[in-house]
Amino acid sequence: MEAPRLAHTMSSPTSPCEEVIKNLSLEAIQLCDRDGNKSQDSGIAEMEELPVPHNIKISNITCDSFKISWDMNSKSKDRITHYFIDLNKKENKNSNKFKHKDVPTKLVAKAVPLPMTVRGHWFLSPRTEYTVAVQTASKQVDGDYVVSEWSEIIEFCTADYSKVHLTQLLEKAEVIAGRMLKLSVFYRNQHKEYFDYIREHHGNAMQPSVKDNSGSHGSPISGKLEGIFFSCNTEFNTGKPPQDSPYGRYRFEVAAEKLFNPNTNLYFGDFYCMYTAYHYVILVIAPVGSPGDEFCKQRLPQLNIKDNKFLTCDEEDGVMVYHHAQDVILEVIYTDPVDLSLGTVAEITGHQLMSLSTANAKKDPSCKTCNISVGR
C-alpha cells in the first residue's frame, strides 16, 4: 500500500515510520526511524476522512518536556487510535551540535485525552528551538494505518534548567570538589587595554556584562545574568593565585572580604567540563537585595556562605577566613560594579595559556561526571 502524500515539506517526514511501537502509553512515547523507511510487511493508507489537527498549542514547556494540544473536527474523530508527531530541531547556522543530534524525531503515541505530555531527554535538549507537526491515525486490523494530512508546522523553544535540575548538577559537583584550601584574594586577568578603558570611560569601575554561552546548554545564567568574572583558585604549594592566565597579562587583585562577606549571597550556577579531566564550577556572588540577587533567587540554588563544598566565608577569632575547593576550577561571577581602587592592578610573570580559556566553551555532553539525565 502506498505511503501518504505529506504536506508541509519543510519539516514533515518524507515517508512513514519503519515500525510503530505497540501499546504505547502517554508516559512512554517512543521513536521511529528518522528517515521513515517503510518495512515490507507494513503500510500506511491515506484517507481524507480522518480529522486534520489544527490550532496547535504548546504549553508547560520545560527543558525536556512540553504539553501539546490541538483542535479537530468531530467527523471520524472516534476512529482515531494514534497520533503521529514529527519533532525536529529548527535548523540555523548557529545551532549547537550535540552528541545525540542524529536521533530519530518521529513520535508515535496512542490517542489519549489532550493536552498530551511529550517528554524524553534522549531527544529534547534545553534552550533549543523545535518545529512540530501532527497527524491523526487509525490502526487497522491488519496492522496498517490510515492517516490524516499533516497539521500546520508550529515552532517553540524548550526552557532552561530549573532549580531542580541545577540541584542535581550541584550534588554531582559536590562529589568531586575535594578538600578546602585557604584563599585571601579574588583576581581578574585582562589585557592592559581593558583596564585603561575602564579608567577612561567608566570612572575606574569595572562594569557587569552579560555572561557568555559557556558551560551547560541549559544553564539559566548564560546570555542573561550580568556580572564580572573573577577567579579564586590558589596553587597548592604557595597558597597564592597562579601566575599563568588565558585572559591577559594584567591582573586585578582584591581582598576576598571586599566582594564576599555576610552582606552577600552565594549561588550555584553551573558544573561542566570541556572534554578534559578537570571540571569547572560557576558560582555567583550577589550583594543582598541587588538586582543580581533577585535574578538568582528565582533561578539558582542558594548556598550557605559558611558551609558548602566550594567557597566559604566564616569568622575565626574576629577575622574573616576564606576557603575554596581544591579539585574544581571555580569561576566566580560578581553581579555589581567593582571599583579598581578596591584592589591593585599589576602585570603577571607567567604565561598566557589560551588553551585554558572558557569563553563560549561547550560542555562535553558525554561526560558522566558533570551531566544529568535531562536534555543536554
Q: Which of 186, 194, 191, 188 is nearest to 311 (CA)?
A: 186
Cell of 339: 571599583
Question: Higher-confidence residue: 238 or 170?
Answer: 170
Q: Which of 120, 97, 95 is nearest to 107 (CA)?
A: 120
Is the bond leading into 287 cis (omega within 30 degrees of zero)? Answer: no
- Average pLDDT of the chain is 82
Taking the C-alpha atoms of residue 306 and residue 263, their distance in angstroms, rounded to an integer, is 13
Cβ(32)–Cβ(17) below 8 Å: yes
Cβ(191)–Cβ(340) below 8 Å: no
Taking the C-alpha atoms of residue 144 and residue 47, their distance in angstroms, rounded to an integer, is 12
Give, as one character, the DSSP assignment of residue 294.
H
Query: Mean per-residue pLDDT for 37-46?
Result: 41
Give, as one character, the DSSP assignment of residue 5.
P
Cβ(82)–Cβ(108) below 8 Å: yes
pLDDT, residue 67, reads 95
Instruction: Count how many residues are written for the chain.
Output: 376
Statement: 52-156 belongs to CATH 2.60.40.10: yes
Burial class of residue 94 in the structure, from the number of CB atoms within 10 Å of its CB (0-12 exposed, 13-18 middle, 19+ buried): exposed
pLDDT, residue 174, reads 97
pLDDT, residue 158, reads 93
Taking the C-alpha atoms of residue 270 and residue 301, their distance in angstroms, rounded to an integer, is 10
Measure CA 367 to chain center.
Answer: 15
Query: In the chain, what are the domain boundaries?
Result: 52-156, 161-345
pLDDT of 97 strictly over 60: no
Q: Give the percent of the chain with pLDDT over 70.
A: 79
Beta carbons within 8 Å of 35's beta carbon, 6+ residues apart: 14, 15
Measure CA 137 to chain center.
Answer: 35
pTM flag (> 0.85): no
Taking the C-alpha atoms of residue 59 and residue 122, their distance in angstroms, rounded to an integer, is 20
Beta carbons within 8 Å of 132's beta carbon, 6+ residues apart: 56, 58, 68, 85, 86, 87, 88, 153, 154, 155, 156
Composition of the chain by helix, strand, coil, percent to 5 = 10, 35, 55
Question: Higher-confidence residue: 227 or 12?
Answer: 227
Q: How confident is residue 356, by pLDDT bands cut at 50, 70 and 90?
A: low
pLDDT of 235 strictly over 60: yes
Of the ranges 14-28, 94-108, 202-216, which one carries the lowest mean pLDDT score? 14-28
